[in-house]
Amino acid sequence: MSNNEFYSLTVNGVQHPVQDAWVGESLLYVLRERLGLPGAKGACEQGECGSCTVFVNGSAVCSCLVMAATVVDTEIATVEGLSSDGTLTDVQQAFIDEGAVQCGFCTPGLVMAVHHLLDQNAQPSEHEIKEALSGNICRCTGYGRIFEAVNTAISRRQENAR
Amino acid sequence: MTVYLPHTIEEATALLEAHPHALVLGGGTDVMVEINFNHRKPSDVVALRNVDELRTWTINNETSSIYIGAGVPYSEMESGELQKVAPALAAAARTVGSPQIRAAGTLGGNLGTCSPAGDSLPVLSALNAEVHLASSHGVRSVPFAEYMVGPKRTSRTATEMITGVTIPKANGWQGYSKVGVRNAMVISVASACLAIQDDMVRLALGSVGPTIIRCVEAEKWLHENFATLTDLQPADCAEFGRRAASEARPIDDHRSTAEYRRHAISVLAQRLLQRSIQS
Ligand SMILES: Cc1cc2nc3c(=O)[nH]c(=O)nc-3n(C[C@H](O)[C@H](O)[C@H](O)COP(=O)(O)OP(=O)(O)OC[C@H]3O[C@@H](n4cnc5c(N)ncnc54)[C@H](O)[C@@H]3O)c2cc1C
Ligand code: FES
Ligand code: FES
């Protein structure tokens, strides 16, 4: 029921021991600084930018607002786990093809948010896409290319489904 | 510091009894900001994440009421079955933060923080919600108006936790409107919930006073002067807005000015009343 200095997290299906950590640390900090998983990015650490988006039990949340020691016995998925064999997911490929990546800082969080959206809703409207990505800030692209990437991923999935 | 992960309300209240200084952790969207920035260093944490009974909601058709557990996140209130029976709560939930915040943030956490800008709170006020509190000594329910006693001040004691709220099933039009500096991810500058429940118009205001403000005078004026809402003319709706604004008690702060907030309330109240008639 309680846990202190030692606990373990299941990230992308792999159990990781977390040792000698202060138990108040955020999941973002633990992923990056203790588990060597720097895919989730930290910018604001107050839930505003979405660059730290991960899945906790299938929900897309800001890892900076999750206390890591409370998500033991939980499935955590990060951008590193989206594909296992070094290949890119369709969303990642679409981001590249549409030039939706400039500095790239926002990209992991956006890719997670887009995967989450398309898992829930295979044919989102323009409004639904904007709403779904409203928690992810990009300072470079102006979002146009990002929306293009989402649309490309959607149409490729539809073609593949045929 | 120890993090406790109880599985039941009983375990959670026993922990709060044993550790009265412990911090209750819901979705973490308020608490973790404070911890990340070293504004809060809790001695112990009682995290409610694994208390499944807090994440449930039920509709009781016999009493025509809805029970919503403290751990229900906004993402569950904003659409689906809950939206049908509690449309104003759904509307308020949709204005909160971003999808990520709504997936994590809970009703119990909004009540725990109890900021006058909390978006669910005007809805709970307009609907005369009952807030349910539990400690290891038992449970009690308090009307929302007695629960929130000041800005971020409540009548909850340190060994009590919020287990949920009860609100009536909607039986008339209800809506929620919020003014902020942009559309997404914004804390309200002024907000209002209008609900017609049992043919009575109720109006509650957020971000324009130390607590949520129920516009009892404007409600009374409507009730005494108009037998049915269909009698209302546009000028009457504007008068209702002015009366609501005069009941607001806004201040100047980093987000806005008292003057703008009062003006915003007059517009919000007028519009909500107009929408309720048109629907
Ligand atoms: C980027 C961002 C945007 C936001 N936008 C909005 C917004 O638009 N509107 C809005 O209203 N809020 C907003 N918030 C604030 C926050 O998301 C809400 O107040 C949310 O409801 C808090 O819920 P939580 O479960 O995350 O609470 P937590 O952070 O876990 O807890 C908040 C407080 O409540 C207490 N608490 C939690 N659960 C219980 C319980 N069951 N019993 C007793 N005490 C409890 C905690 O001890 C703490 O004091 C935003 C926050 C962020 C980071
Ligand atoms: S770092 Fe988590 S939202 Fe910005
Ligand atoms: S590409 Fe630079 S922040 Fe989005």
ipTM: 0.96
| A67/B32 touch (CB, cutoff 8 Å), yes or no | yes
**CATH (domain of B185):** 3.30.390.50
Would residue B228 count as lying in a domain?
yes
Overall CATH class of domain A4-80:
alpha beta
> 3-class DSSP state for residue B59?
strand
Classify residue A23 by its DSSP letter: T
pLDDT 10s digits, B194-237: 999 999 999 999 999 999 999 999 999 999 999 889 889 999 99
| pLDDT at position A4 | 58
Distance B9 CA to ligand 2 centre (A): 31
pLDDT of the residue at B185: 85
Longest dimension (CA), chain B: 61
Q: Which residue has the higher pLDDT, B34 or A1?
A: B34
Q: Which of A2, A24, A61 sits opposite B104 (nearest CB)?
A: A61
User: Which pLDDT does position A2 carry in this prediction?
Assistant: 47
Interface probe for B, chosen from A62, A74, A76 (most Cβ of B below 10 Å), is A62
Query: CA of A35, closest CA in chain B: separation in Å?
Result: 19
Region A125-154: what's the mean pLDDT?
97
Give A1-44 pLDDT, tens digit per residue.
444 568 999 999 999 999 989 999 999 999 999 999 999 999 99
Check pocket membership of A106 for ligand 3, CB cut-off 6 A: yes
The beta-carbon neighbor of B98 closest among A1, A72, A134 is: A134
pLDDT in the model for residue A84: 82
Q: How far is CA A56 from CA A60, A81, A88, A114, B274, in A?
A: 7, 13, 21, 15, 42
- Residue of A67, A73, A135 lying closest to B185 (CB–CB): A135
Q: B21 lies in which domain range?
A: 1-50
pTM of the predicted structure, to 2 decimals: 0.97
The pLDDT of residue B178: 97
Q: Domain ranges in chain A?
A: 4-80, 90-161
Average confidence (pLDDT) over B4-14: 98
Domain count, chain B: 2
Per-residue tokens: B223: 């009730």
* pLDDT value at residue A1: 41
Give pLDDT, residue B183: 82
pLDDT over 50 at B51, yes or no:
yes
Is B199 within 8 Å of B227 (Cβ atoms)? no
Flag whether residue B64 sits within 8 Å of chain A, measured between CB atoms. no
Among A89, A63, A47, A50, smallest CA distance to A11 is for: A63
Residues B126-146 have a mean pLDDT of 98
Mean pLDDT score across all residues of chain A: 95
CATH of A90-161, one of 3.40.50.920, 1.10.150.120, 3.30.360.10, 3.40.50.300: 1.10.150.120
State the Cα–Cα distance between residues B60 and A100, nearest whole angstrom.
49
- What pLDDT sits at residue B217? 98
